[in-house]
Amino acid sequence: MAKKKVLFLYNGGTIGQVPEKINNQIVLAPPKDGSVFKNACEPVLQYFKKDFDIDFEIITTKDSTNMTPNDWEKLIFRVKKAQDDENYDAVGIAHGTDTLAYSATALALALHGKKPGESGLRIPVCITGAQNPIYEQGGDGRFNLENLFRTLRTGVNEGVADVLINFWDRILLGCRTLKVSEKDFDAMKSPTFPDVGHIDAMGVHINKLHVRSKENAKGKLSIAPKFRRGVVSFELTPGLEPSLILGLITSGGVSAMILKSLGEGNVCSEGEFSLLPAIERATREYIMPIFITTKFPGGSAVSTHYEVGYKAIKAGGIPCYDHTDVAVDVKVRWLIGNGVCSSIEDFRQAMKTSYAGEVTPPKD
- pLDDT interval class at 323 (50, 70, 90): very high
SS3 37: helix
CA proximity to 125, closest of 10, 32, 298, 6: 6
Q: What is the pLDDT of residue 266?
A: 86
| Triad 217, 219, 222: Cα angle to 5° | 95
Give the CATH architecture of domain 4-216: 3-Layer(aba) Sandwich (3.40)
Distance CA 296, CA 191 (A): 9
Q: What is the pLDDT of residue 325?
A: 94
Distance CA 171, CA 160 (A): 13
231-350: CATH topology: Rossmann fold (3.40.50)
Antiparallel, parallel or unpaired: β 290-294 and 318-319 = parallel
Question: In sequence order, what E strands does the chain have?
Answer: 4-11, 18-22, 25-29, 52-60, 90-95, 125-128, 163-167, 170-173, 178-179, 188-189, 197-200, 203-206, 231-235, 256-261, 290-294, 318-319
pLDDT tens for 129-155 read: 999 999 999 999 999 999 999 999 999
Q: Which amino acid, residue 281?
A: R
Q: What is the pLDDT of residue 285?
A: 94
CA proximity to 268, closest of 297, 303, 308, 230: 308
Q: Is the pLDDT of residue 364 over 70?
A: no
CA proximity to 262, closest of 301, 304, 233: 301
Q: Is the pLDDT of residue 270 over 90?
A: yes
- pLDDT interval class at 128 (50, 70, 90): very high
Q: Is the pLDDT of residue 303 over 70?
A: no
Domains 4-216 and 231-350 share a fold: yes
Q: Name the pTM for this structure.
A: 0.95
Q: What is the pLDDT of residue 219?
A: 82
- The residue extents of the domains of the chain are 4-216, 231-350
Q: Is the pLDDT of residue 302 over 70?
A: no
What average pLDDT score do residues 305-313 get? 76
- pLDDT interval class at 156 (50, 70, 90): very high
SS3 22: strand
Distance CA 164, CA 5 (A): 18
- Mean pLDDT: which of 16-30, 191-205, 303-317 is highest? 191-205
